[in-house]
Structure formats: C-alpha cells, structure tokens
Amino acid sequence: MAYNLLSGKKGIIFGALNELSIAWKVAERAYEEGADFVLTNTPVALRFGTLNELAKKCNTEIIPADATDVAELEILIKKTMKKYGGKIDFILHSIGMSPNVRKGFAYDRLNYDYYQKTLDISALSFHKVLHVCRKLDAINDWGSVVALSYVAAQRTLYGYNDMADAKSLLESIARSFGYIYGRDKKIRVNTISQSPTMTTAGSGVKGIDRLIDFSDRMSPLGNATADDCADFCVTLFSDLTRKVTMQNLFHDGGFSSMGMSLKAMTQYDKSFRDYPEDGD
C-alpha cells in the first residue's frame, strides 16, 4: 500500500545491483511513494548487474560512479542537481564490499591492502558522499541521508571479518557528520542496522545461511526482510521522522536486544541430553 510519503522528493540511491539488493527494494518502494531519484553504482556493477531494468521500472536514469572516488561523486551530484534543477532531499548509501571476505583471508590474517579497500568502499565512501554533498550544497534543509549497517558493529559475529570494523566506522561517521549537517542545515544522517539478508553481498559472508536461520529463530519478530527494510527507509526519507538523526536504528526483529530465547534454551538443554558428559 502506498501513502504518498515521498511525493515531490528527489534523491540518489546507491547500491542496487540486482533484484536481491536491498537498494533495489528501496528504489521500488520509494518510487511507489512518489519519489524521483537517480540510481548509481560502479561501472563494473552496471556490466554485471541488472540495474537497467530497475531504471526502466522507476522511470529514471543511471549515473555511474565509484563511491570511493571523490571526483566521480562530484560529477554524479552535479548531474543529479542539473537533472532536478536544484537540490535533492534524500540519499541511500547501500554499499559494502570486503576483498578479504571475498578472497577468504580470516580476521587474524588480513591482507592490509584489502583491509583498506574494505574500509574505503564500505565506510569512507559514506563520508565522501556527505562531504561532496555538503561542498556542493546538494541537500535541502530537513533532508535525510541513510546508510545500511549490521549488528557486527557492536557484537562479534563469527565470519563477518573486517566488515565489522567498516560498519563501526560507518556508524561513527553517521554520528559525526550528523552533528555537523544537523547543526548547519537540519539534515539528518542515520544508519539502519538490518537483519542478515540473502543478497549478493550477504551471500559472501561465511555461514550466511546459518546466520540467517539463527537470527530468525532468536528474534521475537523474525528477521527483517529487504522489503521490510525498504518500508523503514521510506519512513526515514519522509517528513514523519524529521527529528531522528545521528542514530543507528536496529531493524532486526529484536535480535540485537536478545540474550537467550526459549527456543535457544530448549535447544541448549537438548545438546546436554545428547552429550551428558558436557552437562556440568
């Protein structure tokens, strides 16, 4: 159901690669709610992904940019402002990649060049986007900027590797820039800490299927899907959340607040019946 929450609003959506992408779902939902936006991704992603389909569906265009490259971001923002004849109202940063995860370097054996790439792509790019927008005065007062994070920023989850560090940095950037942008322009900056979700980036995480299953069983409301995330993003881009800023907002069915559930305790008890010698 559409509520026209984003009618008249303009934005940029980073990170839709294919129809599994969280950004893809956000774009579809934002379009339904009346928003106009530009889609962007790296030139490589445009070759391998299916972004053209989404652009057609949302009646918009794609402006390629590598989000780690400030010069490319400047071109993207300038072209977007030209297209809309002025400033925009919202941005989604839905970007993440770790070469260490991809190439199987464990956290205690990281390749440091890759580590820097992880941080640059998954966290510093957020700073760069905000920095360029501020420099070009690209966002309207009371605009909204959202990036996607994960609970591994606060808690250790096996296999998430250097992406955990990147997410901690990402969330810190949201607070630091949120203060400056809020103070000067009333622009809000938040991160959404999303449940594990089966996407292209998600499927690179070691044991993702078990992680998804575990958090689904542990969360009282079950995992939040990419579609649920899109709904939440729309509320954050809308005027209904104008005083929410500098927050990391958990969108995970309650997972981040759980310690022990009835299901987990029952399962735990069973393991002692199977292996009684470990029971004490």
Interface with ligand NAD by CB under 6 A: which residues? 14-15, 17, 20-23, 41-42, 45, 66-68, 94-97, 121, 148-150, 194, 196-197, 199-202
Q: Which residues contact 227 (CB under 8 A, 6 or more apart)?
A: 25, 29
**How near is the Cβ of 130 to ligand NAD at its closest, in Å?**
15
**How near is the Cβ of 105 to ligand NAD at its closest, in Å?**
18
67 closest CA partner among 31, 92, 36: 92
Alpha-carbon gap, residue 229 to 195, rounded angstroms: 9
Contact at 8 Å (CB) between 43 and 16?
A: no
Considering the complex, state which of residue 33 and residue 66 has its C-beta at the smaller distance from ligand NAD: 66
**How near is the Cβ of 174 to ligand NAD at its closest, in Å?**
12
Contact at 8 Å (CB) between 14 and 129?
A: yes
Contact at 8 Å (CB) between 224 and 202?
A: no
Considering the complex, state which of residue 11 and residue 15 has its C-beta at the smaller distance from ligand NAD: 15
Considering the complex, state which of residue 41 and residue 238 has its C-beta at the smaller distance from ligand NAD: 41
DSSP 198-252: -STTGGGSTTHHHHHHHHHHHSTT----HHHHHHHHHHHHSGGGTT--S-EEEES
Considering the complex, state which of residue 66 and residue 171 has its C-beta at the smaller distance from ligand NAD: 66
Contact at 8 Å (CB) between 48 and 74?
A: no
67 closest CA partner among 117, 121, 135: 121
Q: What are the structure tokens assigned to 45, written together?
A: 């992603």
**How near is the Cβ of 81 to ligand NAD at its closest, in Å?**
19
Alpha-carbon gap, residue 252 to 13, rounded angstroms: 22
Considering the complex, state which of residue 194 and residue 245 has its C-beta at the smaller distance from ligand NAD: 194
**How near is the Cβ of 111 to ligand NAD at its closest, in Å?**
17
Considering the complex, state which of residue 33 and residue 228 has its C-beta at the smaller distance from ligand NAD: 228
Q: What are the structure tokens assigned to 117, written together?
A: 């790439």
**How near is the Cβ of 147 to ligand NAD at its closest, in Å?**
7
122 closest CA partner among 142, 102, 143: 102
**How near is the Cβ of 4 to ligand NAD at its closest, in Å?**
26
Considering the complex, state which of residue 185 and residue 216 has its C-beta at the smaller distance from ligand NAD: 216
CA dihedral over 251, 255, 258, 263, signed as positive or negative: positive
Considering the complex, state which of residue 178 and residue 202 has its C-beta at the smaller distance from ligand NAD: 202
**How near is the Cβ of 82 to ligand NAD at its closest, in Å?**
21
